[in-house]
A and B are shown apart, each in its own frame.
Chain A
Amino acid sequence: MGTRPSVGGMALATRTDRPPSLIRSAWRSTVGKKAVMAATGLVMLAYLVAHMMGNLKVFFGAGEFNHYGHWIRTIGEPFLHREWFLWTARVALSASVVLHGVAAYQLSRRDLAARPAKYAHRPRRKSYATRTMRWGGVILALFVVWHILDLTTLDVNPNAQEGRPYENLVASFDRWYVSAFYIAAMLALGLHIRHGFWSAAQTLGAGSPRRDRALKTVANALAALLTCGFIAVPLGVLTGVVS
């Protein structure tokens, strides 16, 4: 209850000051930050769908897969220079990852601070979704780092041949523990998408009683599709279907 000066009829006037910057104030608010998470999450989700479809080409042999890998670098030619599209996509994705991660970190810090004391009587089921999102997100972040070192920069790849993604991939997944880590990460991804897609819809204001069931169905379908699609590759390598 401030003691702001307000004189007579002034209290009646509608006050219409413009804020300095809408983007900045939106980022400062929890709702705006969540919207950034939702939007970047959807960008990454769209990318993952394309990525998974590309991955499945591995089942059609080294030729087709490597050709696909080559094509990615030439998208948009001759209008775009070689790899321009790829780098644009990489920048957009990196920005998404960073924004998503920073927002998640800041919001989580805030959420934990908002509940400093715990209840002595813990209910059986609580914050399942929140916990999966937080820990799942951390696992996925670690996975992405390793994944890039393994198959993009090839720093930790046993084959490490530039321009031979098929061979590199097979070499990597031939190690059972690598495949196991990958599969675990993809399960985390599925759970993350399952809550994240629905949650993003709520955050972006697309939720409504009428659409709720449809949104949950799409979230589950996307989660299942992406998890299965990604896991198919290491399974293929481990079972010798891909070699």
Chain B
Amino acid sequence: MSEYLHYAVGEPLVDAAAPGGPIAERWDRRRFEARLVNPANRRKHTVIVVGTGLAGGAAGATLAEQGYRVVQFCYQDSPRRAHSIAAQGGINAAKNYRNDGDSVHRLFYDTVKGGDFRARESNVHRLAQISVEIIDQCVAQGVPFAREYGGLLDTRSFGGVQVSRTFYARGQTGQQLLLGAYQALSRQIDAGGVEMHTRTEMLDLIVVDGRARGIVARDLVTGRVDTYLADAVVLASGGYGNVFHLSTNAKNSNATAVWRAHRRGAHFANPCFTQIHPTCIPRSGDHQSKLTLMSESLRNDGRIWVPKARGDTRPPAEIPEDERDYYLERIYPAFGNLVPRDIASRAAKNVCDEGRGVGPGGQGVYLDFADAIARMGREAVEARYGNLFEMYERITAEDPYEVPMRIYPAIHYTMGGLWVDYDLQTTVPGLFAIGEANFSDHGANRLGASALMQGLADGYFVLPATINDYLARHPHDEVPHDHPAAAGAVAEVTARLRRLLENDGDRTPESFHRELGELLWDECGMSRTESGLRKALGRIPELREEFWRRIKVPGSGEELNQSLEKANRIVDYLELAELMCLDALHRSESCGGHFREESQTPDGEAARRDEEFAYATAWEFTAPGAAPVLHKEDLRFEYVHPTQRSYA
């Protein structure tokens, strides 16, 4: 462990692809300067895309439309099931349809500030510019956004911004946007432009002469491990929130693709930046397999409280008004229940740590609609939140019209990811990362309704423009399937799978995942301390050692073996978790979703330390269990000047 802590600081990392000039012109300039591939030559280029969520689906469809040969992968049985489908709230765009003062610049400003000044200005500005085109694109695809009676698009406001710029399709915006991308992708599959491999999971990256030239993937049905070669590889494999075991991610979402790429040379940026969503349904027991998010919009009308006395087990209805603590309204009178996600989450943790939490295990706070029902009437509440109340009741068997909801924060999104330059290219030439898999746009905290925006911006507009430049500059020779780099990667993958299968242990993969997740949640979750992180960094190598000693995986590798899939993902979590803790330990400031107890203002708020930490960390892998090398990318703020956030 001590060795791991003694990481070296390497050369600073510079984004060589970033164009200069006025920020509003940079994207145009980059697109003009980027080389193009002659349309007739595109078919000769093969691009691998891993993942079919908003970013991957959009990228695969768009690259095939341009004429590239796309080979695409997803572990699900259909590209339509990627976890983007579960996003509820909406997608931001600076359309200014409301004439409420919105603009590209304001969306840019809000996103940089919301990210607590830990994102790159150029990237965020480009995102805001493209947001406008995304809505046009999705409407043209037939995405059924909510509309007003006049037939125009409806918008709503979201997460602490002062304009109404969030487009939505009831509570299923992610589903509708994903189906749009999936349909565009399906059209290309039918046209022969995309070779789709479903139920196929990427297990390693093939790097030849320093360039990403393919992947090793396992057919999850037959167990066959194959190499797939290409001129460039795009990872759109999502975030790594499942390292926490319990999260709002899909059960099979995993970090293997990005982690294997990291081990092959792609730097990992800001791994400790994870977002915790304040309004999830609390866990009901040890059997809990995942957590379910309730839309943030509930905080518009619900009031959050806990009993004033610790250990008060009375039913909520029997706790009189003056014995309740509406703690958000008390501590943050200006914003009340509408403070940003990170602040609401931490406040809930604090009251629960004080022993005032409610529900099983004291891990919950009340979200009470009694006042809203008294004020607006039950029908108005039902019209606004009916489907959410129904979902809550289905899961908990409690009627939120009668009994206050119980909520608790949960891991929801990871801002960190593979380091990419302005072109979304990682430190391995030819390897690109898009969507949640990269670290680029959200800094230390993501605003609501911005994940969908970023995924689609990367997939539809950014990557298809920038990958041209790489392909045009690097005419590639064919790599033979038996190239030593490919054969070596296959050998490593199969050896690891065999080791998992042959180990004669007595613990299930699930039990290790749960233990790792609990450790991370406690020490690298909502608030972090040096001692806690050091403790976790001590425990993780032990757990890893125990894993390889005691893991038990049934069945064989030549069949559909879900236990093997799971165990293989946990191997990577056991390494990634260590890097997350190290990154959190290194960043001794608090910012966004990363709260270090040592760095707070006198009234207990996160204290950023710009003079020391105005950079993104990018970790270089050295060897398993050995200390990584830290590279810093300095962040310069020319257009939005860092200020301390205040919501009191």
Q: Do chains A and B touch in the complex (CB under 8 A)?
A: yes
Please report A residues at the B interface, Cβ cutoff 8 Å: 1-9, 11-12
Q: Report whether A4 and B40 are in contact in the complex, using a CB–CB cutoff of 8 Å.
A: no
Is the pair B64, A11 in contact by a Cβ cutoff of 8 Å? yes
Q: Is the interface of A mostly helix, strand, loop or mixed?
A: loop
**Given A4-B191, A11-B188, 14 other A-B contacts at CB below 8 A?**
A1-B189, A1-B195, A1-B196, A3-B192, A3-B195, A6-B193, A7-B67, A8-B40, A8-B42, A8-B43, A8-B67, A9-B67, A11-B65, A11-B193
Chain B residues with CB under 8 Å of A5's CB are: 192
> What is the bound-complex CA distance between A3 and B71, given in angstroms?
12
B508 to chain A: closest CB distance in Å? 29
CB distance from B141 to the nearest CB of A (A): 15
Q: Which residues of A contact B40 (CB under 8 A)?
A: 7-8
Q: List 19 A-B contacts (CB under 8 A).
A: A1-B189, A1-B196, A3-B195, A4-B192, A5-B192, A6-B192, A7-B40, A7-B43, A7-B67, A8-B39, A8-B40, A8-B43, A8-B67, A9-B67, A11-B64, A11-B65, A11-B188, A11-B192, A12-B65
Q: Which of B159-194 contact A (CB under 8 A)?
A: 188-189, 191-193
B218 to chain A minimum Cβ distance, whole angstroms, is 18
Contact residues, B38-63 vs A (CB, 8 A): 39-40, 42-43
Q: Which residues of A contact B42 (CB under 8 A)?
A: 8
Residues of A within 8 A of B188 (CB): 11
Residues in B neighbouring A4, C-beta threshold 8 A = 191-192
Check A2/B39 contact, CB under 8 A, given A9-B67, A11-B65, A12-B65.
Answer: no
Tell me, rounded to whole Å, the shortest Cβ–Cβ distance linking A118 to chain B: 24
Residue of A nearest to B68 (CB): A8
Chain B residues, Cβ within 8 Å of A3: 192, 195
Bound-state CA distance A2–B196 (Å) is 10
Report the 6 A-B pairs with minimum CB-CB distance, sorted nearest first: A4-B192, A8-B67, A6-B192, A11-B191, A8-B39, A11-B193
Report the minimal beta-carbon distance from A74 to chain B, rounded to whole angstroms: 59
Q: Which residues of B contact A11 (CB under 8 A)?
A: 64-65, 67, 188, 191-193
Q: Most B CB atoms within 10 A — which of A3, A6, A9? A: A6
Which residue in chain B gives the minimum CB-CB distance to A8? B67
List A contacts of B39 (CB < 8 A).
Answer: 8-9
CB closest residue in chain B, given A13: B191
CA distance A5 to B192 in the complex (A): 7
Q: Which residue of B lies closest to A11 (CB)?
A: B191
Residues of chain B with a CB closer than 8 A to A9's CB: 39, 67
Nearest chain A CB to B78 CB, angstrom units: 13
* B interface with A by C-beta (< 8 Å): 39-40, 42-43, 64-65, 67, 188-189, 191-193, 195-196
Q: How far is the CA of A1 from the CA of B73 in the complex (A)?
A: 13
Q: Measured between C-beta atoms, what is the minimum distance from B441 to chain A in Å?
A: 30
Closest residue of chain A to B40, judged by CB?
A: A8
In Å, the complex CA distance between A5 and B43 comes to 10
Which B-chain residue is minimally distant from A15 (CB atoms)?
Answer: B191
Chain A residues with Cβ under 8 A from B192's Cβ?
Answer: 2-6, 11
A11 to B68, CA, bound (A): 11
Closest residue on chain A to residue B67 by CB atoms: A8
Expressed in whole angstroms, the minimum distance between the Cβ of B368 and any Cβ of chain A is: 38
Which of A3, A11, A12 counts the most B-chain CB atoms under 10 A from its CB? A11
Please name the residue on chain A nearest to B197 by beta carbon. Answer: A1
Q: How far is the CB of B648 from chain A (nearest CB, A)?
A: 53
A2 to B191: give the CA distance in the assembly, Å.
9
Give the CA-CA distance A11 to B188 in the complex, in Å.
Answer: 7
Residues of A within 8 A of B193 (CB): 6, 11
Q: Which residues of B contact A1 (CB under 8 A)?
A: 189, 195-196
Nearest B-chain residue to A2, judged by Cβ: B192
- Which chain B residues border A12 with CB–CB below 8 Å? 65
In angstroms, Cα B196 to Cα A1, docked, is 7
Cα distance A6–B64 when bound, in Å? 10
Instruction: Write the chain A residue with the least CB distance to B187.
Output: A11
Whole-angstrom CA separation of A7 from B64 in the bound complex: 10
The docked-state distance in angstroms from the alpha carbon of A4 to that of B193 is 8
Bound CA span A5–B69, Å? 11
In the complex, what distance in Å separates the CA atom of A9 from the CA atom of B37?
Answer: 13
A4's nearest neighbour on chain B, judged by CB, is: B192
Question: A12: nearest residue on chain B (CB-CB)?
Answer: B65
Question: In whole angstroms, what is the CA distance A6 to B189 when docked?
Answer: 11
CA distance A9 to B193 in the complex (A): 10
Please tell me if the beta carbons of B191 and A6 are within 8 angstroms of each other in the complex: yes
Instruction: Collect the chain A residues with CB atoms within 8 Å of residue B67's CB.
Output: 7-9, 11
Nearest CB of chain B from residue A218's CB, rounded to whole Å: 34
Q: Shortest beta-carbon distance, B26 to chain A, in Å?
A: 29
Most buried by A among B39, B40, B67, B196: B67
The answer for the CA separation of A13 and B624 in the assembled complex, in Å, is: 50
**How far, in angstroms, from A6 to B70 measured CA to CA in the complex?**
12
Q: Closest approach, in angstroms, between the C-beta of A11 and any C-beta of chain B?
A: 4
* CA A222 to CA B119, docked complex, whole Å: 72
Q: Measured between C-beta atoms, what is the minimum distance from A15 to chain B in Å?
A: 9
Q: Which A residue sits closest to B69, measured CB to CB?
A: A6
Instruction: Output the least CB separation between A61 and chain B (Å).
Output: 66
Chain B residue, CB-CB nearest to A3? B192
Chain A residues near B195: list those with CB within 8 A: 1, 3
Nearest-Cβ distance from residue B16 to partner chain A, whole angstroms: 31
Distance of B471 from chain A, by nearest CB (Å): 14
B191 to chain A, nearest CB (A): 4
A67 and B398 alpha carbons, distance in the complex (Å): 75
Give bound CA distance, A80 to B191, whole Å. Answer: 57
Kindly state the separation between the CA atoms of A6 and B188 in the bound complex, as whole angstroms.
10
CB-defined contacts of B43 to chain A, threshold 8 Å: 7-8
A9 to B67, CA, bound (A): 6
- Report chain B residues within 8 Å CB of A7: 40, 43, 67
- Of the listed residues A4, A5, A7, A8, the one surrounded by the most CB atoms of chain B closer than 10 A to its CB is A8
Chain B minimum-CB-distance residue to A7: B43
User: Across the interface, which residues of A come within 8 angstroms of B64, CB to CB?
Assistant: 11
Residues in A with CB closer than 8 Å to B189 are 1
Query: Measured between C-beta atoms, what is the minimum distance from A9 to chain B in Å?
Result: 6
Nearest-neighbor residue (CB-CB) of A5 within chain B: B192
A7 vs B44: C-alpha distance in the bound complex, in angstroms? 10
CB distance from A229 to the nearest CB of B (A): 49
Distance A9 CA – B65 CA, assembled complex (angstroms) = 7
Minimum CB distance partner of B194 in chain A:
A1
Q: How far is the CA of A2 from the CA of B195 in the complex (A)?
A: 8
Closest chain B CB from A17 CB (angstroms): 14
A2 to B189, CA, bound (A): 8
- Provide the bound-state CA to CA distance between A6 and B191, in Å: 7
Q: State A100–B648 Cα separation when bound (angstroms).
A: 76
Q: CA of A159 to CA of B192 in the docked complex: distance in angstroms? A: 71
Question: How far is it, in angstroms, between the C-alpha of A11 and the C-alpha of B196 when the chains are bound?
Answer: 16
User: How distant is the Cα of A4 from the Cα of B195 in the complex, in angstroms?
Assistant: 10
Residues of B within 8 A of A6 (CB): 191-193
Closest approach, in angstroms, between the C-beta of B64 and any C-beta of chain A? 6
A4 vs B43: C-alpha distance when bound (angstroms)? 13
In the bound assembly, the distance between CA atoms of A1 and B39 in angstroms comes to 23
Nearest-neighbour CB distance to chain A for B185, whole angstroms, equals 12
A204 to B189, CA, bound (A): 32
State A11–B69 Cα separation when bound (angstroms): 11
Q: How far is the CA of A8 from the CA of B45 in the complex (A)?
A: 11
Question: In the bound complex, what is the Cα–Cα distance between A127 and B382 (angstroms)?
Answer: 37
- A123 vs chain B, min Cβ distance (A): 23
Give the complex CA separation of A7 and B67 in angstroms.
7
Instruction: Give Cα A91–Cα B84 distance, bound, in whole angstroms.
Output: 59
Alpha-carbon gap, A5 to B64, bound state (A): 13
Q: How far does the Cβ of A205 sit from chain B's closest Cβ, in whole Å?
A: 21
> B65 contacts which chain A residues (CB < 8 A)?
11-12
Distance of B638 from chain A, by nearest CB (Å) = 40
- Compute how far the CA of A3 lies from the CA of B43 in the bound complex, rounded to whole angstroms: 13
